[in-house]
């Protein structure tokens, strides 16, 4: 009975506060009661026990919808403040200032790294020093999976320098990488992280240097002899042992760059880690004319795809590479799964292999059928707005009530397939969380409407989706979103030397780490959002971003297949597709 008394007391207190707020304008007519946030704070969860959970696609009770009563889905009636802020034109002068501010954010982080951390992998922005692998604790995978003692942040930032038009620093940085970086290191790194951060950046920079059009300005390197391509080849060869001695073709998660797969290596890997190598490995194969790298990456994707549930068509998030048994049965769009779906689509866009599109089509339909909750339409009808949840891959039943910040990439992926309406709605949910905390917590419990894991490591996914939605809609709302994100980063994460991870999004305490993706992705997408005249946006230029935000050109040389030695010509031609095939998906668009 105590909890009932507590709930009754909270209700009476809330009613009293509402009555007081209603009287305030009359009691103090000069008091300005402007709403600060376009989305209302959600109410506290019921106490003491967990509320009931419904798992159908049209829940009658609200779980997350209160976070979206207003804001991106439309201001409340008479909400002049919302309309004035978000619906009006965005002055060109303000946009130019924000573009310069985003560039300044990158410059401060990059210069701080070069001054205080290079040639080490990352910058510690609170103590103004560098960090490399944790040699004293090999089990510290949070550090050692990423840091390989190869100047990670410098490599990861190369194409951001080019996109921002800084040719002199780009040329200087490329020469530094060529002269000082070696992969002949006794470092055990995660194959996925080394691929997307290092291999992808080397390939992107090589493509920029050798582009005859030079759209970003003169990024050529005097006497350049394909050194970055050779370095990418060297790194990829060192990663190849991960694909050996595995019964399924799914690679080991980690490899030592000098010794190969460690003898004590685990046989378990995540779906995204093993299935998100095809873009970088495929580009390398097609630049070199050597099908080896694309073949092993494509074999891993097909192996994972063959293990999907016969009932739902879904994949889990952790698999045993020897037995093919699903160790983690959670199917979602966040950590462990996210970039697998992203690369099915992007591989098709880049290489034109129809089987990639067919796998993506099936995966997207299964996601819609089993992961999507809420009402059918984004902006009308009863029930909560759409949300994608974590379910059991075999049954489609809800497994938990949290989403993670990595899932904020998905609206951007939906933009690429033309499902803009659903992208708008899902993006609004993540932006509502950002407005509440000034950052995205690593995990957010949509049932309790509170962070489950409260740190924010400067992730780019919400910025990425914001940028792509603006490119698709040209709605100034997304410029306002970008301005909010930029201001929050400056206010809460700026440190003495760079920008720091938020240890707790509520308390705004900091951790002494600036991950390399802050410069390669977060700053890049913010800059591009406000830089209308960037060459990436000019007619005739076709580019795609890798999952690490690296720029690669979409052109015919990557659509020339290396599979003639594996597939007969007639069979292979049937596997080729056209970009127009994306429209056959026939999803809703704005």
81 among known catalytic residues: no
Tell which residue, 268, 263, 233, has the closest CA to residue 252.
Answer: 268
Distance CA 545, CA 339 (A): 12
- Sign for the pseudo-dihedral over CA of 136, 276, 173, 127: negative
- Please list the residues that pair with 256 across neighbouring strands: 188, 260
Distance CA 28, CA 34 (A): 14
Q: Which CA distances in Å does 80 have to 28, 77, 202, 257, 333?
A: 21, 8, 49, 59, 36
The distance in angstroms from the start CA to the end CA of the chain is 51
Binding residues for Ca(2+): 547
Q: What is the helix (H) or strand (E) element at residue 12, kind and residue range?
A: helix 2-27
Asked if residue 429 lies in contact with residue 436, where contact means CB atoms within 8 angstroms, the answer is no
The single residue of 461, 521, 531, 548 carrying the catalytic annotation is 461
Asked if residue 396 lies in contact with residue 55, where contact means CB atoms within 8 angstroms, the answer is no
* Neighbouring residues of 524: CB distance < 8 A, sequence distance ≥ 6: 106, 159, 160, 163, 164, 460, 549
Q: Which CA distances in Å does 342 have to 382, 415, 468?
A: 31, 12, 14
b/e burial code for range 126-141 (CB count within 10 A of at least 16 → b): bebebbbbeeeeeeee
Give alpha helix (H) positions in 417-538.
Answer: 420-437, 461-473, 477-492, 517, 523-530
Binding residues: 547
Give alpha helix (H) positions in 28-151.
Answer: 80-86, 92-116, 141-144
484 among known catalytic residues: no
464 among known catalytic residues: no
* Neighbouring residues of 71: CB distance < 8 A, sequence distance ≥ 6: 38, 39, 82, 428, 431, 432, 435
The single residue of 169, 280, 338, 521 carrying the catalytic annotation is 338
Q: What is the helix (H) or strand (E) element at residue 567, kind and residue range?
A: none
The single residue of 122, 156, 442, 464 carrying the catalytic annotation is 442
Q: What is the helix (H) or strand (E) element at residue 250, kind and residue range?
A: none
Give the Cβ contact number of residue 184 at 10 Å: 10
Instruction: Look at residue 233 and give its three-state secondary structure.
Output: helix
Give the Cβ contact number of residue 320 at 10 Å: 16
Give the Cβ contact number of residue 8 at 10 Å: 10
Asked if residue 463 lies in contact with residue 522, where contact means CB atoms within 8 angstroms, the answer is yes
Distance CA 121, CA 145 (A): 12
The single residue of 122, 193, 280, 355 carrying the catalytic annotation is 193
Give the Cβ contact number of residue 234 at 10 Å: 14
Distance CA 201, CA 120 (A): 17
Tell which residue, 271, 386, 275, has the closest CA to residue 330.
Answer: 271
- Please list the residues that pair with 510 across neighbouring strands: 502
Tell which residue, 76, 553, 179, 48, has the closest CA to residue 350.
Answer: 553
Name the residues annotated as catalytic: 193, 338, 442, 461
């Amino acid at each position: 009975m105590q909890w009932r008394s507590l709930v009754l007391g909270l209700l009476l207190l809330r009613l009293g506060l509402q009555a007081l707020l209603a009287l305030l304008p009359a009691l103090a007519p000069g008091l300005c009661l402007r709403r600060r946030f376009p989305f209302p704070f959600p109410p506290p969860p019921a106490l003491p026990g967990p509320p009931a959970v419904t798992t159908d696609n049209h829940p009658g009770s609200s779980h997350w919808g209160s976070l979206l009563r207003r804001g991106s889905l439309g201001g409340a009636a008479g909400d002049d403040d919302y309309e004035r802020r978000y619906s009006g034109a965005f002055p060109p002068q303000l946009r130019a200032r924000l573009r310069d501010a985003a560039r300044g954010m990158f410059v401060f982080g990059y210069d701080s790294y070069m001054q205080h951390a290079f040639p080490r992998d990352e910058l510690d922005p609170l103590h103004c020093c560098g960090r490399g692998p944790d040699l004293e604790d090999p089990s510290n995978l949070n550090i050692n999976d990423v840091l390989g003692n190869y100047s990670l942040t410098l490599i990861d930032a190369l194409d951001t320098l080019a996109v921002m038009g800084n040719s002199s620093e780009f040329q200087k940085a490329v020469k530094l990488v060529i002269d000082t970086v070696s992969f002949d290191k006794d470092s055990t790194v995660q194959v996925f992280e080394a691929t997307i951060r290092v291999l992808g950046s080397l390939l992107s920079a090589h493509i920029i240097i050798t582009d005859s059009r030079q759209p970003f300005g003169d990024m050529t390197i005097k006497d350049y002899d394909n050194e970055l391509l050779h370095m990418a080849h060297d790194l990829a060869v060192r990663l190849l042992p991960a694909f050996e001695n595995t019964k399924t073709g799914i690679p080991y998660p980690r490899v030592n760059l000098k010794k190969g797969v460690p003898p004590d290596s685990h046989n378990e890997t995540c779906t995204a880690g093993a299935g998100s190598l095809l873009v970088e490995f495929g580009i390398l194969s097609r630049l070199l004319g050597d099908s080896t790298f694309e073949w092993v990456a494509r074999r891993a994707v097909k192996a994972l795809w063959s293990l999907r549930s016969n009932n739902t068509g879904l994949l889990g998030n952790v698999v045993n590479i020897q037995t093919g048994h699903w160790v983690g049965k959670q199917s979602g769009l966040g950590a462990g799964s996210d970039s697998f779906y992203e690369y099915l689509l992007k591989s098709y866009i880049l290489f034109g292999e129809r089987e990639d599109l067919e796998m993506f089509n099936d995966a997207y339909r299964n996601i819609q059928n089993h992961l999507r909750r809420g009402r059918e339409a984004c902006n009308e009808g009863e029930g909560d707005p759409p949300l994608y949840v974590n379910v059991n891959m075999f049954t489609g039943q809800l497994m938990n009530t949290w989403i993670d910040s990595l899932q904020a990439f998905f609206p951007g992926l939906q933009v690429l397939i033309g499902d803009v309406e659903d992208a708008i709605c899902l993006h609004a949910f993540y932006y509502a969380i950002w407005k509440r905390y000034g950052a995205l917590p690593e995990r957010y419990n949509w049932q309790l409407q509170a962070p489950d894991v409260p740190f924010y490591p400067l992730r780019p996914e919400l910025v990425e989706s914001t940028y792509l939605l603006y490119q698709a809609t040209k709605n100034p709302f997304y410029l306002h979103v970008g301005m909010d994100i930029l201001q929050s980063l400056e206010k809460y994460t700026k440190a003495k030397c760079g920008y720091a991870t938020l240890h707790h999004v509520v308390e705004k305490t900091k951790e002494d780490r600036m991950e390399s993706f802050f410069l390669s992705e977060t700053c890049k997408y913010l800059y591009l959002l406000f830089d209308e005249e960037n060459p990436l946006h000019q007619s005739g230029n076709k580019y795609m971003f890798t999952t690490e935000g690296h720029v690669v050109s979409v052109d015919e040389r990557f659509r020339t297949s290396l599979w003639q030695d594996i597939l007969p010509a007639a069979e292979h031609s049937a596997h080729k597709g056209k970009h127009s095939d994306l429209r056959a998906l026939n999803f809703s668009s704005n």
